[in-house]
Amino acid sequence: MKAVFIFALIVCINAYPYFGVSAVEKEIAEQKVSMIDARIENLEDIRRRLLDALDATYEDMFNSGCTKAKAQLKKVVQELRKKIVRVDSKISSTKSLLTKVLSGLNPRARNSVIRHCKVERRFAKRLL
């Protein structure tokens, strides 16, 4: 009888991460993930616009004949590159925030949140 009790206790302890998900906790996680995902999309859109501006600036730089204009455009290119690097770092920090939120959940809740919020697999891949 003791053996059955100990076995049942071990099974319950090992299975605990798959049970015990409160609906409120899951709902809060879904809201956080949705907000973070929207922030990532916004930052990626900003990054795309900066890259388009950088491309246009390079085109203007190669088409301009004046050396003063080229020097000015080089400064603009340097500033755009710095801004792109800043946006990239913000994107990576936001992605790490997403992984922190998802890693705080148990496996069943995590999978449910990923499916419900349609989190991109590349973000959630590390956690699955």
Banded pLDDT at 24 (limits 50, 70, 90): confident
Q: pLDDT tens, 59-96?
A: 887 787 778 888 888 888 899 999 999 999 998 898 88
pTM: 0.69
Q: In whole angstroms, how far apart are CA 7 and each of 12, 14, 81, 89, 100?
A: 9, 11, 60, 49, 33
Ranking 12-21, 38-47, 78-87 by mean pLDDT, the lowest is 12-21
**108: phi then psi, degrees, rounded to nearest 5:** -65, -45
Residue 114 has pLDDT above 60, yes or no: yes
pLDDT for position 45:
93
Pick from 7, 13, 26, 18: which is nearest to 115 by CA? 26
